[in-house]
């Protein structure tokens, strides 16, 4: 089994693009309790990269595909922060959310396939992208039980059996 942990970036002061001190502190706290990771990939946005660094992890790559929610997805689900159930419902309507979620799943599958047996990797992305990608990886999961939208530094740990994702653990922060 390989494990892909996908987490949302930490807090920033909007409209700024960089982490706030509170965000750095949260990322440090979370980073001390997770890992190790064979490699770390973030989106191309500053707040994702800075989250990985604040967590204590070197960034191996940055991907644009982890930076932007697909065109029309936010409207399709009723807001980027609509939660897993809304993303699951939109996915099963076979529209823009389905296409976007499947694209994320294909990317995440490719990444998971490069993790060694028993190993883990970390992705740092953004709200909505994580929910859509997790739904794409496990479209028949119990999306209602997965709960509300992913908050700062929360995420999902996906179990990959070498060919497909077989389980998701939703990672919440107390």
How many whole angstroms separate alpha carbon 113 and alpha carbon 111?
5
Q: What pTM, to 2 d.p., does this model score?
A: 0.97
Beta carbons of 121 and 37 less than 8 angstroms apart: yes
For tokens 């296409």, the residue is: 99
Beta carbons of 121 and 101 less than 8 angstroms apart: no
| CA distances from residue 95 to 11, 105, 129 in whole angstroms, order as listed | 31, 16, 16
State the greatest distance between any 2 C-alpha atoms of the chain, in Å, as a whole number. 41
Domains of the chain, earliest start first: 2-171 (3.40.50.1240)
Interior angle at CA 95, CA 100 and CA 156, nearest 5: 40
Q: Reply yes or no on whether the pLDDT at 174 is more than 90.
A: no
Beta carbons of 111 and 40 less than 8 angstroms apart: no
Q: Mind listing the pLDDT tens digit for each residue in 100-142?
A: 999 999 999 999 999 999 999 999 999 999 999 999 999 999 9
Q: Mind listing the pLDDT tens digit for each residue in 27-45?
A: 999 999 999 999 999 999 9
How many whole angstroms separate alpha carbon 41 and alpha carbon 34?
15
Mean pLDDT over 132-159 rounds to 97
């Amino acid at each position: 089994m390989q494990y892909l942990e996908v987490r949302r970036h930490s807090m920033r002061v909007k409209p700024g693009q960089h982490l706030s001190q509170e965000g750095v502190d949260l990322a440090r706290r979370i980073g001390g309790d997770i890992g190790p990771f064979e490699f770390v990939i973030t989106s191309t946005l500053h707040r994702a990269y800075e989250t990985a660094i604040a967590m204590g992890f070197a960034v191996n790559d940055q991907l644009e595909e982890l930076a932007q929610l697909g065109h029309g997805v936010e409207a399709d689900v009723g807001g980027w922060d609509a939660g897993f159930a809304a993303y699951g419902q939109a996915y099963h309507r076979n529209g823009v959310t389905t296409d976007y979620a499947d694209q994320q799943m294909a990317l995440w599958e490719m990444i998971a396939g490069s993790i060694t047996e028993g190993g883990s990797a970390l992705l740092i992305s953004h709200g909505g992208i994580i929910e859509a990608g997790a739904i794409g990886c496990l479209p028949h999961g119990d999306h209602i039980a997965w709960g509300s939208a992913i908050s700062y530094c929360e995420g999902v740990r996906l179990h990959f059996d070498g060919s497909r994702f077989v389980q998701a653990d939703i990672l919440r922060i107390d």
